[in-house]
């Protein structure tokens, strides 16, 4: 179990920093939002309280306990108040190895409309299935804690555990859903590697843009939206289509990574100084 950054493979640190840069480059995060990676059953790594685009050095990285969500280092720099999203997802799902929390404005609208769930619309995002669950901080936590400040921030282990539960218990230590939305806030995305969680986070936002465009197109052409076979409305993926395309995405997730690395490596905003 790594208890010091000195014991962590440099290639993994580099990949983590690249992941931070890539999710910023693809607008999954801005100054807020974060990526973490599990190092062992009981330890995970994430950057200190800073914009992911600016993560560059070992001093920017902190080891945390899965059990408590607290730093394992003496004199650790300030961390994110929402690190409990990560610790509790790792605790609930032992085969999740990377987590992203995003405030993507493309995705947030779908957290506000119970009748219109985010769902798979493009083949590369089949992993979203036919209805991404929405976690509501007020309904799930605040209503039992009426005196707690309703900042909507997941800033303790109980809230993190509640959010993690919303992903649904699946098989083999994995959640039933890769992604859960957070009402009026953003989403949490899980994967079995940094590459996978980055891919899923990017394609979740892309899917949301396509879904929003399709629904808007339908509204704009209302009255003319019937097709020759008499069907109407947005032709979302069904369960089988979402399941089959989701498996294809998982098999091909390594493909875009070299392109994404090249994009950020060629941009002077993003630095790696290990």
> Annotated active-site positions, please?
82
Q: Which of residues 144-183 bind Zn ion (CB under 5 A)?
A: none
On whether the CB atoms of residues 19 and 35 are closer than 8 A, the answer is: yes
Q: How far apart are CA 24 and CA 20, in angstroms?
A: 7
Which residues, at least 6 apart from 187, have a Cβ–Cβ distance to it below 8 Å? 101, 102, 104, 107, 111, 132, 179, 180, 181, 204
Q: Which residue, 27 or 247, is less far from Zn ion as judged by CB?
A: 27
Nearer to Zn ion, 86 or 91 (CB): 86
**Which residues in the 113-142 window bind Zn ion by CB under 5 A?**
none
**Residue closer to Zn ion (CB basis): 121 or 197:** 197
Q: How far is the CB of 103 from Zn ion (least distance, A)?
A: 6
Angle at 206 between CA 203 and CA 211, to 5 degrees: 120
To Zn ion, the closest distance from the beta carbon of 29 in angstroms equals 10
Return the range that interacts with Zn ion (CB under 5 A); candidates 75-83, 118-126, 170-178, 258-266.
75-83
Span interacting with Zn ion, options 76-84, 86-94, 200-208, 237-245, rule CB under 5 A: 76-84
* CB-nearer residue toward Zn ion: 66 or 108: 108
Tell which positions 14-33 bind Zn ion, by CB under 5 A: none
Size of the site for Zn ion (CB under 5 A): 1
Distance of closest approach, residue 152 Cβ to Zn ion, in angstroms? 8
- Judged by CB, which is closer to Zn ion: 29, or 121? 29
Q: Look at the chain and count its residues.
A: 274
Structure tokens at 195: 């590459």
Binding segment (CB under 5 A) for Zn ion, from list 74-82, 122-130, 165-173, 196-204: 74-82
DSSP string, 199-234: HHHHHHHHHHHHHHHHHHHHHHTTTS---TTS--S-
Spatial distance between the Cα atoms of 27 and 103, rounded to a whole number of angstroms: 10
Q: Of 77-96, which residues contact Zn ion (CB under 5 A)?
A: 82
Tokens of 213: 């465009």
**Cα–Cα distance measured from residue 184 to residue 103, given in angstroms and rounded to the nearest whole number:** 9
Which residue, 82 or 195, has its beta carbon nearer to Zn ion?
82
DSSP 8-class letter at 181: E
- Cα torsion for 142, 144, 148, 153, to the nearest 10°? -30
Closest CB 169 distance from Zn ion, rounded Å: 23
CB of 185 to Zn ion, least distance (A): 6
Q: CB of residue 212 vs Zn ion: minimum separation in angstroms? A: 21
Residues 6+ apart with CB under 8 A from 3: 43, 63, 72
Residues engaged in binding Zn ion (CB under 5 A):
82
């Amino acid at each position: 179990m790594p208890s010091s950054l000195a014991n962590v493979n440099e290639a993994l640190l580099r990949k983590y920093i690249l992941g931070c840069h890539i999710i910023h480059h693809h607008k999954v995060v801005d100054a807020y939002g974060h990526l973490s990676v599990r190092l062992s059953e009981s330890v995970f790594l994430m950057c200190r309280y800073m914009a992911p685009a600016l993560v560059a050095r070992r001093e920017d990285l902190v080891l945390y306990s899965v059990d408590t969500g607290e730093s394992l280092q003496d004199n650790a720099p300030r961390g994110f108040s929402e690190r409990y999203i990560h610790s509790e997802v790792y605790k609930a799902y032992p085969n999740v190895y990377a987590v992203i929390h995003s405030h993507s404005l493309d995705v947030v609208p779908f957290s506000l409309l119970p009748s219109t769930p985010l769902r798979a619309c493009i083949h590369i995002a089949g992993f979203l299935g036919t209805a991404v669950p929405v976690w509501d901080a007020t309904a799930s936590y605040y209503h039992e804690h009426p005196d707690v400040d309703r900042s909507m921030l997941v800033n303790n282990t109980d809230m993190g555990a509640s959010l993690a539960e919303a992903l649904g218990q699946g098989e083999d230590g994995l959640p039933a859903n890769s992604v859960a939305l957070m009402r009026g806030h953003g989403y949490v995305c899980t994967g079995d590697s940094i590459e996978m969680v980055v891919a899923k986070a990017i394609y979740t936002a892309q899917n949301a843009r396509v879904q929003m465009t399709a629904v808007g197109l339908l509204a704009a052409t209302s009255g003319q939206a019937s097709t020759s076979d008499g069907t109407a409305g947005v032709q979302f993926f069904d369960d089988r289509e979402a399941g089959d395309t989701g498996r294809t995405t998982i098999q091909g997730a390594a493909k875009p990574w070299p392109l994404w690395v090249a994009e950020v490596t060629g941009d002077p905003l993003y630095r790696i100084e290990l």
